[in-house]
Amino acid sequence: MAICFQFQSPLKPINFPSSTTKKVPIFKCKASFSTTTTTELEPVFTSVKSFAPATVANLGPGFDFLGAAVDGLGDFVSLSIDPSVSPGHVTISEISGSSKLSPNPLFNCAGIAAIATMKMLNVRSFGLSLKLEKGLPLGSGLGSSAASAAAAAVAVNELFGAKLGVDQLVLAGLESEAKVSGYHADNIAPAVMGGFVLIKSYDPLELKPLIFPQNQELFFILVSPEFEAPTKKMRAALPAEIGMPHHVWNCSQAGALVASVLEGDVVGLGKALSSDKIVEPKRAPLIPGMEAVKKAAIKAGAFGCTISGAGPTAVAVIDNEEEGKKIGQKMVEAFLEEGHLRSVAMVKRLDRVGARLIEGVPR
């Protein structure tokens, strides 16, 4: 895990145009962490601070291939050139916001992603010191590890002149994700790129941003109970095989979800998000009260509700912030009454920017 912060700078965030008539790029890269630059780069900053947002992965039927970034929540990373650190290495000098994270960069999401990014940039003559600031709880289903990795990758890239594109930054973060929770990019891709992202392929990695119209309102109602749902444990609950009817159903609903995102149809998005017949039915019983929370959200007016990532956070969608707050309260009550879990509700917009630099000290 790690801590991160962001700032808007040479990272070249992907801006989602309001019109869907323009072609949206598909980012492709081979799953290799070989050096990208042939000559050693000089840092353009002595220190930087970056931020990466929380994410909602799967979105119901989009298991491992759909995700979205959430505004106003995330991790921060402060990174600096440190002469006391061996050239080509990174150390984690401070971690705040969590007492469970390892300061060893080889076992820390931010550290792993930072090292992968340094390798891509061929950084060999400078040692880096990293400070982690966790804004996301561990095991929450909000992409905590991905936010740390994304912020760290962005920080290293910005420190050395922003030479890497978003596809390479996702790949660096994916190396971190693979060591922590598995080789899936539905958190790290939107954490880096912002907005909704479809993972078209893993070998090679192909990423397609999905444009949600700028003039449409979308709010995520996020209700996080005091309960940990480790990704590895939640993945172990999944079926090894699925029947053809469920396969066809989930594929059709994932397609409907993508269409709803592109059309700005929040009602359709919610309906599709609620429709998973493969993953959610296996995971929901492992989270006390989750089934009742989903029913409460929809009864209160949410367009749809499901598990965020591996859980335990429940995510519902609506197009009105005030209505979202009321729905969130009903979900909190359901977690307490049916699951005997205290929880916190938040209503957040879609983050359209993704990981970014928030400040830097020129060299």
Write the pLDDT tens digit of every residue in 278-298: 999 999 999 999 999 999 999
Residue 218's nearest CA partner among 75, 315, 307 is 315
Mean per-residue pLDDT, 136-144: 91
Q: Which residue has the higher pLDDT, 92 or 179?
A: 92
185-238 pLDDT, tens per residue? 999 999 999 999 999 999 899 999 999 999 999 999 999 999 987 777 888 889
36-50, 89-103, 114-128: which range is least confident on average? 36-50
One-letter amino acid at 339 equals G
pLDDT of 139 higher than 80: yes
Query: So what's the pLDDT on residue 252?
Result: 98
Q: Which residue has the higher pLDDT, 203 or 92?
A: 92
> 95 with 132: CB under 8 angstroms?
yes
pLDDT of 318 higher than 60: yes
pLDDT of 34 higher than 90: no
Structure tokens at 98: 């969590």
Domains of the chain in start order, with CATH, are 45-211+352-362 (3.30.230.10), 219-349 (3.30.70.890)
Give the per-residue SS3 of 70-118. EEEEEEEEEEEECCCCCCCCEEEEEEECCCCCCCCHHHCHHHHHHHHHH
- Compute how many other C-beta atoms are within 10 angstroms of the C-beta atom of residue 90: 28
Query: So what's the pLDDT on residue 301?
Result: 98
Q: How far apart are CA 269 and CA 204, in angstroms?
A: 28
pTM of the model: 0.88
